[in-house]
Amino acid sequence: MKKINTSLLVLLLFLGNRSASAQTVTFASLLREMASREALARFPFPGYQSLQASSYNRQSTIKDGAGWFADSDGIGFIRTEKNGTAEEWVVMEHEGPGVITKIWAPYFYYGGLEDLEGPDIIIYLDGKPAPVIRENFFKFIQGYGSIPPPFSRRTARAGNSYLPIPFSKSCKITFSKKSFYNIINYRAYEKGTIVESFHPSLLKSNSGLLQEVAQSLQSPFRNAQGTISAAPSMLQPGKELLLAIRHPAAIRQLEIWLDPAQVALHREILRSLVLTASFDGEATVWTPVGDFFGSANALNPFQTWTRNVQSNGQLSCSWVMPFRNEATIVLKNLSDKPIEIQRFEIRHAPWKWDDRSMYFHANWRGDDILQGSTFADWNFIDIQGKGVFVGDAWTVLNPDWGWWGEGDEKIYVDEAWARKFPTHFGTGTEDYYGWAGGDHPFKDDRFSHPYLANITVGSATKTRQGVRGFNISTRERALDAIPFQQRLVFDMEASPGVQIRNPWDHLGYSSMVFWYGRPGARHNRPPLPEKAVRPIITLETLDQLANAIRKNQQGIPGAIECQQLVQMSRSGNMEVQIDSSFSNRKSIHFNRNNFARITAQKPGDEITFVVSEQFKPGDLKVQIAKQRGFASIQFFVNGNQASDVIQLDVEGNPFPAIIDLGRHQPQNNQMNVTVRFVAPAKAGDKYLIAGIDYLIIRPD
């Protein structure tokens, strides 16, 4: 009974103060809002932009341009400045009213897990010279400093702070040492919005409210007045169970109970049992039940603010789903076998529909297999209309024991897509989901927090340190929800870790997106019944694909194809094309029977490739192509000369040659390899051409 009263009290406090919150944003009003699921279902007032500052690699400047997939995202910052005799690294600054809503960072510094000290975080508000917060950054984000759990909390090799830090005029955040990986989410309110600035004394004066909100965030949600349920049944193939409400209301809780024994024997039903929802005749939800609940591969127990999965087969959701007149929630069996539904129930309460009310949406993108050596922006969703983005989940099937993703989130809000640069540009897939990388992911990296969960991390063995298999992460948003007026595009880089960049490696991807939209909002994720009835992709599928490629294509272990390297920069109109014209000549051994043909315009033109996530010195070798008519080139690594001038023009058949570039220290955790054109094959040549096959780095 105590938990019920706590949730109800937080709701009443929020509603009772709504009028005041509309005029003035306070620390207390923000605390109430972060515990209010109802607040997410109405377009925010006062209005704000959801913005992000991060340490992303500044060599990424425009979509699909050179450097777009640059990694080593722990080095970016705005500038350095002097504060007396001390130097500080500015990582975030904003002019105008706003609030810091989330701060993430790994709890280790440049030395890796050997250096857990790191810098101080220093937060200045409203242009005042004295900071309101100065303390060790890693303690701050893990809940060991001034911000207690669950408002700051440790995850896996990282920490997240969700305590709102409002400011009335401006905010600047600096570090006392060189910037390392960090992501800071914040709201920028409209000009004229009155915001009460944060002061540490507010923690003490609001201690009671902090405790109430903390308990609400970590307790199962119960706040409904009516219940509609279906009788337990065996849902036959092609049949459906339907629950409907024919009056104005909001669904406060959805609950489905499956038979865990049946799921264990037939895991495919987690995909072929589909959940759909329509509100006032507008279809907004179409998703496999398993994916909706972070359990595409098996029943994966976890608990967040809005979803709860238990090993006994209980699946519950507490996102508020309002409607003007009617709602229809359906379970449909697309499989060829009966599915036991032990409980199917919705709980609802009154809702007054207004011009800020929104429909709940949940959309699924089904299994997709991408080559591990491919860099691409993998689209979760493209929404057109008005709404608020509130959460997502990514299911990744990892074929390797090592790291499976270095990709950054790129979220475009309204005009950002036309500008070709995202509103939110992150630092890595696991960073987006609130944890951090390392040498390997581990089976103990699982966690469940109110707004974050690392639901499953694959399977380990006694002899292998890492994991391979399904990795499922989810993120839910409250104060850091993202409103949009016209459009939101959410991409995640399909950018595998350095261990999975062989041509035979493939990864499997699927995703969920949760959002609210005003009536008429549309998107690019239609129902996918043909994918839902297929068995989920497996490691065996990826292994078979890898073996077929190994059998049919020549490949050198550890070789990084030039055409697969990220281009950091290049001169003028230089072009890079794949040349496979010698693939049928067995006497010529280029890796995978091709190489990158680089065409330049004049001597002095150069192109720079980057190999990121390099933390130790390494020996570099490159295989080049020598051929009649090719130019003279020279190599540089991290700006230092690494070879003499190499004459590529030869008589007779083309042939590959290995060039030793020597031993090099990474610069900002990456190796930059530059090819500079020195001279054409003969005077008067219109173009300068070179062939680069692959690069190998052998670290300590």
Domain range list for the chain = 2-217, 226-549, 560-699
Region 122-146: mean pLDDT is: 97
Query: Mean pLDDT, to the nearest integer, of 682-694?
Result: 90
pLDDT digits (tens, 9 = 90+) for 507-550: 999 999 999 999 999 999 999 999 999 989 999 999 998 888 77
The whole-number average pLDDT for the span 313-336 is: 97
| C-alpha 235: how far from chain center | 36
Superfamily of domain 560-699: Galactose-binding domain-like (2.60.120.260)
Q: Which of 636, 612, 638, 607 is nearest to 622 (CA)?
A: 636
CATH 3.40.50.180 fits 226-549, yes or no: no
**Mind listing the pLDDT tens digit for each residue in 555-606?**
676 778 777 677 878 888 888 888 887 666 655 677 777 888 999 999 999 9
The H or E element that residue 678 is part of is strand 670-679
Domain 2-217, architecture per CATH:
Sandwich (2.60)
C-alpha distances out from residue 697 to 550, 610, 622, 636, Å:
21, 12, 9, 15
- Nearest CA to 122 out of 176, 84, 186, 177 is that of 176
**401 pLDDT more than 70:** yes
Alpha-carbon torsion (299, 301, 302, 303), positive or negative = positive
Helix, strand, coil distribution of the chain in percent, nearest 5? 15, 45, 40
Instruction: Find the radius of gyration of the CA atoms of the chain.
Output: 27
Q: pLDDT over 70 for what percent of the chain?
A: 92
Q: Which residue has the higher pLDDT, 395 or 535?
A: 395
* pLDDT average, residue stretch 222-243: 93
CA-based nearest residue to 249, from 275, 229, 225, 230: 225
Between 402 and 250, the higher pLDDT residue: 250
Residue 586: the pLDDT is 58
Between 8-12, 380-384, 578-582, 604-608, the lowest mean confidence (pLDDT) is in 8-12
Residue 466 has pLDDT above 80, yes or no: no
State how far the Cα of 570 lies from the Cα of 507, in Å rounded to an integer: 30
Give the model confidence (pLDDT) of 157-194 as tens digits: 999 999 999 999 999 999 999 999 999 999 999 999 99
Stronger pLDDT, 465 or 18, i.e. the higher one: 465
pLDDT, mean of residues 262-266: 96
User: Does 228 score more than 90 pLDDT?
Assistant: yes
- Mean pLDDT over 429-442 rounds to 87
The answer, yes or no, to whether residue 39 has pLDDT greater than 70, is yes
- The backbone torsions φ and ψ at residue 18, rounded to the nearest 5 degrees and listed phi first, read -60, -40
The closest of 445, 416, 450, 413 to 429, measured between CA atoms, is 445
Res 646: pLDDT: 94
- State the angle between helix axes of 2-16 and 27-34 in degrees (0 to 180), rounded to the nearest 10: 130
Instruction: Look up residue 476 and give its two tokens.
Output: 């839910």
Q: pTM of the predicted model, to two decimals?
A: 0.85
Mean pLDDT of 67-91: 92
- In 601-649, DSSP assigns E strands to 606-612, 618-626, 632-637, 640-641, 646-647
At 6 the pLDDT is 46
DSSP state of 65: S
pLDDT of 60 reads 92
pLDDT of residue 147: 95
pLDDT digits (tens, 9 = 90+) for 364-373: 999 999 887 7
Angle at 500 between CA 497 and CA 506, to 5 degrees: 120
Has residue 284 got a pLDDT over 80? yes
Give CA–CA dist 218/294, Å, rounded: 18
Give the model's pLDDT for residue 403.
Answer: 78
The pLDDT value given to residue 467: 80
Asked if residue 16 has pLDDT above 70, the reply is: no
Measured distance CA(697)–CA(695) in Å, rounded: 7
**Predicted confidence (pLDDT) per residue in 310-320, tens digit:** 999 999 999 99
Kindly tell me if the per-residue pLDDT of 18 is higher than 60. no
With H, G, I as helix, E, B as strand and everything else as coil, classify residue 182: coil
pLDDT at 651 over 60: yes
Residue 669: per-residue pLDDT = 74
pLDDT bracket for residue 20 (50, 70, 90)? very low
Residue 360: the pLDDT is 98
Residue 655, pLDDT score: 85
Average pLDDT value over all residues in the chain: 90
- State the pLDDT at residue 324: 98
Instruction: Tell me the C-alpha distance between 162 and 103, whole Å.
Output: 7
Evaluate if residue 110 carries a pLDDT over 90: no
Question: Is the fold of 2-217 the same as that of 560-699?
Answer: yes
- For residue 454, pLDDT over 80 is answered with yes
- Does the pLDDT at position 14 exceed 60? no
